[in-house]
Structure 1
Amino acid sequence: MMTDEWITIIEHAEELTEMLLSSEAVADYRKAYNDVYSDTELVKEIQEFTSMKERYEEVQRFGRYHPDYNIVMKSIRVQKRALDMNERVAELRLTENDVQYILDEIGSIIAKSVSDEVKVPAGSAFFSDSSCGGSCGTGGGCSCSA
């Protein structure tokens, strides 16, 4: 049932969405995205890498026993390195991280406003004060309090 409280929450959420969409971080992300996906050669490289990732996953099921193991392993590393070294792809990744950080911050603020007991995903800004990022998986091997 829709109450005044729900309508207020929805209105505030819409305001927050508008602020986020008009932010500099999202504008930078959109520009970086357009820079990458307007380059047909780069799009072709990304598509080739994506199909190679599918072959990689197939090869991983069988490991070294797969007949194309060495070829696929070398090829995926070369393609990934080429994409990683591309300035436009690197810029897109940085802007994605910036937007993700903002979204994580928003989620953390909302969660904390409800209760300190509300769970927030371990990779979020909620755990940025922690020495290991929240879920290192080492059982305390990194000197965190895991």
Structure 2
Amino acid sequence: MSAVISTPVDLLDESAQLGQIILQSEVFIEYKNARERMDNDAEAQRLITKFSEQKEKYDEVQRFGKYHPDYKTISKEIRTVKREMDMHETVAAYRRAERALEELLNEVCGEVAGIVSPTIKLPGNNPYFENDSSGSCGSGGGCGSGGSCGCS
């Protein structure tokens, strides 16, 4: 990638090149393979469908909260179904690959933002976006931290 970008078109070209590099990365290829394995795993798909159905029931119950007659039952069932789905090997492998890809993308975004300006505010709950200098929102929890970030 070139060091000098003179027009918006150049910027778009450079962005497209960066995107292609990410698409060819080992992290993305593992993500893609994990997704394909999960999509082709009949048991994983059954568990995902079961969770989706249970989530619809849960969302309906949540409208009324603890006052809904099935609140405790549905809440317990969704936790059980979610745990069963999350513990399935292909789903767990997909989630790990998804987190690795997200970390890569967050790191790239942090690098780009840092090049533009070290004071750009990024999500403070991600260690890739933490800023070492005190007084910035990235140094600990963001602007919702009760004023300790130094923002006004």
Q: TM-score, normalised by structure 1?
A: 0.81
- The gaps in structure 2 that reach 5 residues or longer are 134-138
C-alpha contact 1:32 1:88 (8 A) present in aligned 2 = yes
Please, which of 125, 129, 134 is the counterpart of residue 126 of structure 1? 129
The 1:112/1:33 distance shift into structure 2, 3 A limit, reads same
Partner of 1:28: 30
Q: How many residues align?
A: 139
Partner of 2:43: 41
C-alpha contact 1:37 1:43 (8 A) present in aligned 2 = yes
**Matched residues in 1 for 2:117 and 2:131: separation?**
18
Where in structure 1 do 4 or more consecutive aligned residues deviate above 4 Å?
Answer: 136-140
**Matched residues in 2 for 1:82 and 1:35: separation?**
18
**Matched residues in 2 for 1:14 and 1:51: separation?**
38
Asked if 1:102 corresponds to 2:104, the answer is yes
Partner of 2:90: 88
Tell me how far 1:64 sits from its aligned partner: 2.3
The sequence identity of aligned pairs, in percent, is 36
**Matched residues in 2 for 1:18 and 1:35: separation?**
23
- SS across alignment from 1:119: coil
Q: CA RMSD in A?
A: 2.7
C-alpha contact 1:20 1:26 (8 A) present in aligned 2 = yes
C-alpha contact 1:46 1:83 (8 A) present in aligned 2 = yes
Partner of 1:57: 59
**Matched residues in 1 for 2:96 and 2:131: separation?**
18
Partner of 2:136: none
The 1:17/1:107 distance shift into structure 2, 3 A limit, reads same
Note the alpha carbon deviations across 1:11-64, whole angstroms, 9 max, x for none. Answer: 111110110000000010011101111122321210220221122122122222
Q: TM-score, normalised by structure 2?
A: 0.78
